[in-house]
Amino acid sequence: MKQKFVSNILLLLLLNLIIKPYWVLGIDRQVQNMLGANEYGTYFALFNFSLLFSIFLDFGLTNYNQRNIAQNTHLLKEYFGGLMGLKFLLGFVYILILIAATLFMNYNEYRIKILLLLAINQFLLSVILFIRSNISALQYFKTDSLLSVLDKLLMIIFCSFLIYNHKMELSILTFILSQTTAYIITLLLGLFLILKQTGIVLPHFKIVFLTKNLKETFPYALLILTMTFYYRIDGVMLDLLLPNGAEVAGIYAQSYRLLDAGSMLGLLFAGLLLPMFAYQIKQNEAIQELFHISFNLLMLPVLSIGLFVIAYASDICTIMYNEQPETTAQTLQVLMFSFLFISASYIYGTLLTANANMKELNILALIGMFLNVCLNFILIPQYGGVGAAWASMITLLLVMAAQLVLCKWIFKISFDIQYCFRLLVYALHIIISLWVLDYFAVNITVAALLVFSISFLAAFFLKLVKPSDFSILSK
């Protein structure tokens, strides 16, 4: 299992480190620079608003299905048609709820049109993720890795055409429609791959089947709903609470984009780890080895990236953005601490989900949601985007710390003092390197190469990562 995890995570990282950062930091950033903070801020706020209700698209089905099929692969054909039928039903409910919610938001016709298109995209993406959950549950991790980047690769192609072909007008609407096209193509390919395993299976609605699965997935649904709120409510609240909310949301989106790009790393780990943890728990296998190697492979690069971005935030934002780079840099520095906590939470939360500790996770998520909304109400009117970043950081730190305690209590997972000391020395290596590079005013590109090289060597020198962890790839 350890060998399978390392080989597949390296493939997944290779694909995603090439495709997804280019989408987020290249195409998406260029779209914002061309459209301006105000118009893009409207898109960002509406996109986050559509995400708040996305739980009704999935109702926890994807996580539940991935865990269930990983432990009972023979149920794929029996469950796939029924769950696909349920996905379509939930999609209809989601759009109705979103339309009803717009009545309370006093959105104009233009905003409603954008929101409906975003709702369609959310539905398509939800179906893609459900299809991928079946593929990864069957342990076809390489196929899942390719599907995980296909939609973004297609978006890069379509949006590049919009950006560089001056005969076509780039707007929020054409930007969203290019995403719609990419999602449809990816969905059809994923569906074809699943039907090769199951044969022709049509979506169907059986009340007993639907009721049973909704009941079983409710804890997963509640968890996703509450987590989505404290991850995404900030953009919506900026738009609502401030007189120039759309513009501030647009500036906030500039820094949040980098957090989003970095968080993809943890999300990829979580997607691979969930079926693996679930399988090991079902087989009563020890999970400590897989936990520790996944923690190291994720958190060591996250720590070096996070510290580097904090140190060079001003330079990064000046290079990337046309509007208010200094304000963006201040927000980014706070959000990079959130990046550390989110990444650790992906490991702890995934292990707890695989073990079906939904009651504990839901209690934590509900507390996190309530805390985050309260902090946003207090901090946003006074501090704007920086206040929203502080609200996120405090919430994520407390949730991650509670998950750590739960994992230690349930699985007896802990880090010995020697390991913690080596991790501290690793972080100090990076901090001292950044201070020296800043003192000598080293170019940001050279600084990045030096810092990441030093952190890579330090990880081996301090025996946080062992060559044997990678030698299994040749077996």
Residue 88 has pLDDT above 50, yes or no: yes
Using CA atoms, how far apart are residues 50 and 220, in angstroms rounded to an integer? 19
| ∠ Cα 347 353 354 (to 5°) | 90
Q: Is 400 among the domain residues? A: yes
Mean pLDDT of 429-457: 91
Task: Name, in order, each residue with C-beta under 8 angstroms of 103's C-beta and a sequence gap of 6 or more.
Answer: none
Q: What is the pLDDT of residue 280?
A: 82
Mean pLDDT of 358-365: 89
Residue 169 has pLDDT above 90, yes or no: no
Q: Convert the pLDDT of each residue in 255-308 to its tens digit.
A: 988 888 888 888 778 877 887 788 788 877 777 878 888 888 888 999 999 999
| ∠ Cα 94 95 96 (to 5°) | 90
Per-residue confidence band for 467, with pLDDT thresholds at 50, 70 and 90? low
pTM of the model: 0.79
Using CA atoms, how far apart are residues 57 and 50, in angstroms rounded to an integer? 11
Mean pLDDT of 391-412: 91
Q: Is 424 among the domain residues? A: no
- Show the domain range for 359: 2-414
Using CA atoms, how far apart are residues 367 and 270, in angstroms rounded to an integer? 22
> What is the percent of the chain where pLDDT is above 90?
31
Computed over every residue of the chain, the mean pLDDT equals 84
Q: How many folded domains does the chain comprise?
A: 1
Q: What is the pLDDT of residue 200?
A: 67
Mean pLDDT of 394-398: 95
Q: Is 434 among the domain residues? A: no
What does the block give as tokens for 131?
């299809």
Q: Is 12 among the domain residues? A: yes
Mean pLDDT of 117-146: 85
Q: Is 443 among the domain residues? A: no
Q: Is 420 among the domain residues? A: no
Residue 472 has pLDDT above 50, yes or no: no
Using CA atoms, how far apart are residues 70 and 73, in angstroms rounded to an integer? 6
Backbone angles phi, psi at 324, to 5 degrees: 45, 60
Q: What is the pLDDT of residue 475?
A: 39
Identity (one letter) of the amino acid at 130? F
Residue 1 has pLDDT above 60, yes or no: no
Using CA atoms, how far apart are residues 85 and 88, in angstroms rounded to an integer? 5
Using CA atoms, how far apart are residues 395 and 399, in angstroms rounded to an integer? 6
Q: What is the pLDDT of residue 29?
A: 87
Per-residue confidence band for 170, with pLDDT thresholds at 50, 70 and 90? confident
Using CA atoms, how far apart are residues 205 and 314, in angstroms rounded to an integer? 54
Q: Is 175 among the domain residues? A: yes
Mean pLDDT of 391-405: 94
Residue 209 has pLDDT above 70, yes or no: no
Exposed / middle / buried, residue 134 (Cβ in 10 Å: 0-12, 13-18, 19+): buried
Nearest to 3 by CA among 370, 279, 289: 289
Q: Is 435 among the domain residues? A: no
Q: What is the pLDDT of residue 378?
A: 95
Q: Convert the pLDDT of each residue in 67-80 to its tens digit.
A: 777 776 666 666 67
Question: What 3-state DSSP class applies to 283?
Answer: coil
The distance between the two most distant Cα atoms of the chain, rounded to a whole number of Å, is: 69
